[in-house]
Amino acid sequence: MVRWRSGTVAGVRRRWHGAVELDVTLGDGATLRALAYPFLVGEPAPGDRVLLNVGALVMGLGTGGYALVVALPDRLPADPPDDGTTREAGHLVKARYTPLQAILLGADEEASPHRATLADADDLAGMPVITADLHSALPAIVAGALAGRPGTRIAYLMTDGGALPAWFSRTLAGLRDVLVGTVTVGQAFGGDLEATNLHSGLLAARHALDAELTVVAQGPGNLGTGTRWGFSGVSVGEAVNAAVALGGRPVGSLRISAADPRPRHRGLSHHSVTAYGRVALAGADLVVPEGLDPGLAALVETALATLPPRHRVVRVATDGLDAALRAAPAPLSTMGRGLDADYAYFLAAAAAGRHGAALLTSG
């Protein structure tokens, strides 16, 4: 259920691509931070009345401490300039049948400038596809790939397991000058290109964005129940299957940690074990960074031994990756832990990036 609040914009704090952060004063005088997506609700200004959804904020869930602006009821944005009765501006409906469903132009629709390129596209031509459980791996993967092969054309494919609007991600905003583009698929939206599903999104990354390498991960936030199957990261295995079905080369960025307080995520996370061990029916290169602490390495090796032999475990040297991570184009943080607090996690992601880039050189 939705927990509604009404308030008044007291001030505009910071903004990044597609999002604006606000201070909102409620009727009882309390002030809270809110986030608005101007594409959906218009551009808020001090004095505007706003309707808010505070459910995730009240529960302390992963909204970054935000209430979410649902509408500016007294100052609605103008209609988009297109006709609205035709499909000339697209007909992909995302966040479908919710009050804020958005109608967008799919990269392969008839009205898209990429239609001719994608109409018969059916193959990734061996493009490395790096799959990751968490959004927080993205900047480390990018850092590792660019350290190994500067200038690599990297795309990000955002699945809908976490945040739906790509605009929520400050990490993604920080990577805009580094990536060739973002493709949002499924119910996710707000990327440079929109696609119906993982398969069409991978083809759009390869053929419309001319990506040499694509990173696939859910948006910020990960839904999990603490059970073997109850987590949104099972989509990692589905991404491996899609990459192979389309002639790509899947590379697994393993979720490795010595710092996570939950035993199920220490060593090699049970998310990786389930996604690659049970969901991925095709083989992938699973990357393990060299030089892990011996105790952590032993935990990882024990978990890897349970995975099916269709996967190829690849040991990747880590020289130079520390410098690349510390110079990453977007801040590194996972579950509130920075680089030095969860070093193995980011090192594993950077090593996967390095390996993916190396495949482009080795063929």
Q: Which two tokens stand for residue 208?
A: 């419309």
pLDDT at 135 over 90: yes
The full DSSP string for 38-94 is HHHH----TT-EEEEE-HHHHHT-TTTT-EEEEE-TTSPPPPPSS-SSSSTT--EEE
Helix (H) or strand (E) holding 11: strand 4-16
Q: Please report the sign of the dihedral spanned by the C-alpha atoms of residue 193, residue 195, residue 197, residue 200.
A: negative
Give the residue among 254, 234, 346, 236 at the shortest CA–CA distance from 303: 254
The larger pLDDT score, comparing residue 311 to residue 233, is at 311
How high is the pLDDT of residue 63? 63
pLDDT at 62 over 90: no
Confidence of residue 65 (pLDDT cuts 50, 70, 90): confident
Q: Is 101 exposed, middle or buried (0-12, 13-18, 19+ CB in 10 A)?
A: middle
pLDDT at 246 over 90: yes
d(CA 43, CA 54) in angstroms, rounded, equals: 20
pLDDT at 134 over 90: yes
pLDDT at 61 over 80: no
d(CA 204, CA 207) in angstroms, rounded, equals: 5
For residue range 248-278, list pLDDT tens digits in order: 999 999 999 988 888 788 889 989 999 999 9
How high is the pLDDT of residue 16? 96
Residue positions counted in the chain: 363
pLDDT at 232 over 90: no
Torsion region of 74: left, alpha or beta (phi above 0 gives left; psi -120 to 50 gives alpha): alpha
pLDDT at 219 over 80: yes
Confidence of residue 363 (pLDDT cuts 50, 70, 90): low
d(CA 208, CA 204) in angstroms, rounded, equals: 5
For residue range 321-357, list pLDDT tens digits in order: 999 999 999 999 998 899 999 999 999 999 999 999 9
How high is the pLDDT of residue 137? 97
- The answer to whether 3 touches 58, Cβ cutoff 8 Å, is yes
State mean pLDDT over 216-223.
90
Please state the separation of Cα 338 from the chain's center in Å: 18
Listed in sequence order, the DSSP H helices in the chain are 38-41, 55-59, 115-118, 138-148, 170-174, 198-203, 235-245, 270-274, 294-304, 321-326, 343-362
Confidence of residue 233 (pLDDT cuts 50, 70, 90): confident
Percentage of residues in the chain with pLDDT exceeding 70? 99
d(CA 195, CA 158) in angstroms, rounded, equals: 10
For residue range 146-187, list pLDDT tens digits in order: 999 999 999 999 999 999 999 999 999 999 999 999 999 999
Q: Which amino acid is present at 241?
A: N
- The answer to whether 206 touches 157, Cβ cutoff 8 Å, is no
CB atoms within 10 A of CB 245: 14
State mean pLDDT over 26-43.
95
For residue range 275-304, list pLDDT tens digits in order: 999 999 999 999 999 999 999 999 999 999
- The answer to whether 111 touches 92, Cβ cutoff 8 Å, is no
State mean pLDDT over 188-217.
98
The counts of H helices and E strands in the chain are 11, 17
pLDDT at 116 over 90: yes
How high is the pLDDT of residue 292? 95
pTM of the model: 0.95
The DSSP call for residue 121 is -
